[in-house]
Amino acid sequence: MTDTWVPGAHSSGFGIDNLPYGIFSLAGESPRVGVRIGDSVLDLAAVTGLDVFTRGSLNEFMSLGREFWTATRAGIIDKLTDQTQREAVEPALYQLHQVQLHLPIEVADYVDYYASEQHATNLGKLFRPDSAALLPNWKHLPVGYHGRAGTIVPSGTDVVRPCGQRKAPTDTTPVFGPSIRLDIEVEVGFVVGMPSTLGIPVGTAEFADHVFGVCLVNDWSARDIQSWEYVPLGPYLGKSFATSISPWVVPLEALAAARVEGPAQEPLPLPYLQEFEPWGLDLALEVELNGQTVSRPPYAQMYWSPAQMLAHMTAAGASLRTGDFYASGTVSGEKSDQRGSLIELTWNGTEPLTFDAGYTRTFLEDGDVVTISGTAPGANGARINLGEVTGRILPALQREA
C-alpha cells in the first residue's frame, strides 16, 4: 500500500492502514464525521461534500452498507496518498488538540457478553469454590445480558461512584449506599452498521456484512451491588451506571491482518454457531491504573468469537438496528498479569496490587483514573493503534432521605 503524505502518520499507529472513524467538533461548530490519520483528523464532509458526513454520529453512514464503507475507505486512502490531491485535502486536516471528540455512535441496543473462558473460570473459582468453575451452558452458547444503552459514554467522561443495595455475607439485612467494590472490565466492542429483518437470524458468515467496526470498552462494575441483586435475573444496577467506549471505531477492513483462529471449541457448537472462516482477533490490550500498567489481556484467547456472538444475539429472531452495540465481556488471559478486572487481579481483594508510589488497591477509589489501550497487527508488519478509553472515578452523589 502506498504510504500517506501526512507527516508522522506512518509510525503513529494511525497510518493509512488504520483510518478509524469518529465524531469531532471545532469550537463553536456542530459535531461531524472525521477519520484519524496520525495526530490529525480529516473532515470527511469537507473533502467529500456528502451530507452523510455532516451528522453528529456515524449511524447514517454505517446504514449505507458494506459496499459504501469499502468505497469510502478506498476514496480516503486515495486522497491521503496521492500527492496531487494534497493541496486540496490538507486544509481539511485538523490537529487533535484543535478538536473535541464525541460519542461516535447513537447507541440503539447494548448487549454485553461473557466470552472469555479464563475470566469465567476465575469468577467461578472465586464464587463457587465447591462446584465446577464453568456452569453447564457456558460452552454451548455465548452467555450475555441486555445492558443499558443510555449510559454508554465516550472516553474521558468522569464516572460517578454508583449507589445501590449491597449485603455482605455477614450482614443480616442489606444497606443502601455507595459501592465499595467498584471495578473495571476490559472489553472489546462491536458496532453494528447494517440492520436485519425481524424474525430472520443472522448467520456467522454474515458478520462482516452487518458489523462496521471495533472499539475499546470499559464496562465499569459495582461488584458488591451486582452480587446482591443479580440472582435470579442477572446484572442490573451494578452494571447500568456507566460503560465507557473509545472515540475511534476501527473498521473491520483495517483488521484483516489481525484475524486468527480462536481456541478449539469442545464440544462442537450447534450448527448455527459454527464458523467456516475465523473471526478471532489478535488484539493486544493494556490497562493502566493511575498511570501504572497493571495488566495486558490478550483478546486472541477469547473462546466465543464476535461472529458467534452476533449469530446468537439474533438466533431467536431479534433484529439488528444501526447503532446496535455489543461487547465481548471481560478479556482475561491465562497468566495472572493478563486478567482484565480488579476482582481477578486482586483475587477478590485478598491480593492487593502494590503501586510504585507506595499505595495499594483492591478495588477503585475516588480519584483513580483507568486507561485501556490496544493495538493489532496491521499490513506489512506494522501495528494498528486502537486508541484508548479512559475514565476517572468521582465520589458518589447521595440524595438525602
220: which residues sit within 8 A by CB, 6+ positions away? 159, 182, 183, 184, 185, 239, 241, 242, 243, 244, 391
- CA–CA separation, 351 vs 279, rounded Å? 35
Please give the radius of gyration of the chain, using alpha carbons only, rounded to the nearest integer.
21
Return the residue matching grid coordinates 464464587: 127
| 117 contacts 43 by C-beta, under 8 angstroms | no
Return the residue matching grid coordinates 497493571: 294
163: which residues sit within 8 A by CB, 6+ positions away? 176, 177, 178, 179, 396, 397, 398
Neighbours of 117 (CB within 10 A): 20
Locate the DSSP E strands across 163-263.
163-166, 175-178, 182-183, 186-192, 211-218, 221-222, 243-245, 250-251, 259-260
119 classed as catalytic: yes
Choice among 10, 119, 140, 146 that is catalytic: 119
Return the residue matching grid coordinates 452494571: 239
Neighbours of 212 (CB within 10 A): 27
Residues with a known catalytic role: 119
